[in-house]
């Protein structure tokens, strides 16, 4: 493993980008902006390398980008209804930044901060301190995100957090994947399988109703591999609300702390396969329905178009603080929030 570091100047201060190259020549680039994955080169079935992660021409374009490309959003990834929740009788009001709701921790969330970093033998550890009252969340939160890259082309992300006051936390990774290679068209011909027989229906602002509904007989059924575009334009509430898939699936037989395979993404021409495993209870799948207008892509010639990438965001459930039947995302002093996500790049 070789690890190199590049330092970039920005209006928000200096930040570093690390490049990790394994013994096969496959590589990952990681940025201190949002502790993000900004590139990942993986071989196709003929051994040809391509960057399969969406990203931007300018390293500073990852600040405040609408797509949140590759980064760790927080303190609460996904949506909280009307930006409101209650803890032990105290009401909290977050910034509203997605229709009537709070999204991804707010406009100054974790994805727009410069994290601290330290390289290791096989990866990089990123750390962030979120002070009490940051974006109106209670408690000082200490966050650690460790990326590990190996010679099997597996990228492991271990996320942990502690707090000095009861708070809510939901952390994920928001990488957009295109297994043809970024800037190579839509992902609608990719095939996806989810080990999830239920999903979370939502209202028209994408806030869960509280129900965990069976996917059987609906366009939400990915229990067997299916083209992402097969039912994307179906007249179905979940698809109408988001202009495509932007929905949360419930991991089958989830048990706290158990690492489970939850998703397979396959591309038939390159024969690349992405397997996603996690300890998280749910997976949000977003087919890049609003990518148009993004910063210029890595070639620097154009923004991405809608549906050119898909995010598989392993996480706690959206709006869980307002749904007692969902797995709790409350973190108390003396406890440790701890989850793992593994992205394994293979060929078929």
Q: 3-state SS string over the chain? A: CEEEEEEECCCCCCEEEEEEECCCCCEEEEECECCEEEEEEEECCCCCEEECECCECCHHHHCCCCCCCCCCCCCECCEEHHHEEEECCEEEECCCCECCEEECCCCCCHHHCECEEEECCCEEEEEEEECCCHHHCCCCEEEEEEEEECCCCEEEEEEEEEECCCEECECCCCCEECCCCCCCCCCCCCEEEECCCEECCECCCCCECCCCEECCCCCCCCCCCEECCCCCCCCCHHHHHHCCCEEEEECCCCCCCCCEEEEEEEECCCCEEEEEEECCCEEEEECCCCCCCCCEECCCCCECCCCCCEEEEEECCCCHHHCCCCCCCEECCCCCEEEEEEEEEEEC
Q: How many folded domains does the chain comprise?
A: 1
Measure the CA–CA gap between 95 and 166, rounded to whole angstroms: 19
> Which pLDDT value is given to residue 220?
98
> Quick check: pTM over 0.85?
yes
Measure the CA–CA gap between 44 and 255, rounded to whole angstroms: 34
Residue ranges making up the domain that contains 18: 2-347
Dihedral angle computed from the Cα positions of residues 323, 325, 330 and 334, in that order, rounded to the nearest 10 degrees: 160
Segments of the chain scoring below 50 in pLDDT: none
> Which pLDDT value is given to residue 171?
98
Phi/psi for 242 (5° steps) reads -110, 5
For 221, counting Cβ atoms within 10 Å of its Cβ (0-12 exposed, 13-18 middle, 19+ buried), the class is middle
> Which pLDDT value is given to residue 333?
98
**Active centre residues (catalytic):** 174, 313
Say which CATH number the domain at 55 has: 2.70.98.10
> Which pLDDT value is given to residue 332?
98
> Which pLDDT value is given to residue 66?
96
> Which pLDDT value is given to residue 193?
98
> Which pLDDT value is given to residue 148?
98
Measure the CA–CA gap between 243 and 164, rounded to whole angstroms: 40
């Amino acid at each position: 493993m070789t690890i190199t570091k590049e330092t970039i100047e920005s209006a928000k201060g200096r930040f570093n980008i690390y490049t990790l190259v394994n013994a096969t020549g496959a590589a990952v680039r990681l940025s201190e902006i949002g502790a993000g994955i900004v590139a990942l080169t993986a071989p196709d079935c003929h051994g040809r390398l391509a960057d399969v992660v969406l990203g931007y021409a300018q390293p500073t374009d990852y600040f405040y980008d609408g797509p949140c490309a590759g980064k760790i959003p927080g303190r609460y990834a996904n949506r909280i209804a009307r930006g409101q929740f209650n803890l032990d009788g105290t009401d909290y009001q977050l910034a509203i930044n997605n229709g009537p709701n709070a999204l991804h921790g707010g406009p100054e969330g974790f994805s727009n901060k410069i994290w601290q970093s330290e390289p290791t033998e096989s990866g990089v550890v990123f750390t962030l301190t979120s002070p009490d009252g940051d974006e109106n969340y209670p408690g000082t939160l200490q966050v650690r995100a460790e990326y590990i890259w190996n010679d099997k082309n597996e990228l492991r992300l271990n996320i942990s957090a502690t707090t000095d006051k009861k708070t809510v936390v939901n952390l994920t990774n928001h990488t957009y994947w295109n297994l043809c290679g970024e800037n190579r068209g839509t992902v609608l011909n990719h095939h996806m399988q989810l080990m999830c027989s239920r999903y979370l229906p939502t209202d028209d602002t994408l806030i869960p109703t509280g129900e965990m509904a069976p996917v059987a007989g609906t366009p939400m059924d990915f229990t067997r591999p299916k083209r992402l575009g097969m039912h994307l334009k179906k007249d179905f509430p979940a698809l109408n609300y988001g202009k495509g898939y932007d929905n949360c699936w419930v991991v089958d037989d989830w048990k706290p702390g158990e690492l489970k395979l939850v998703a397979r993404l396959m591309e038939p021409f390159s024969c690349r396969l992405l397997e996603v495993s996690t300890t998280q209870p749910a997976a949000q799948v977003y087919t890049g329905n609003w990518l148009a207008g993004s910063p210029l892509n890595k070639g620097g010639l154009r923004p991405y178009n809608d549906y050119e990438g898909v995010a598989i965001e392993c996480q706690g459930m959206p709006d869980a603080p307002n749904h007692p039947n969902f797995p709790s995302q409350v973190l108390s002093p003396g406890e440790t929030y701890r989850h793992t996500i593994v992205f394994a790049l293979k060929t078929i």
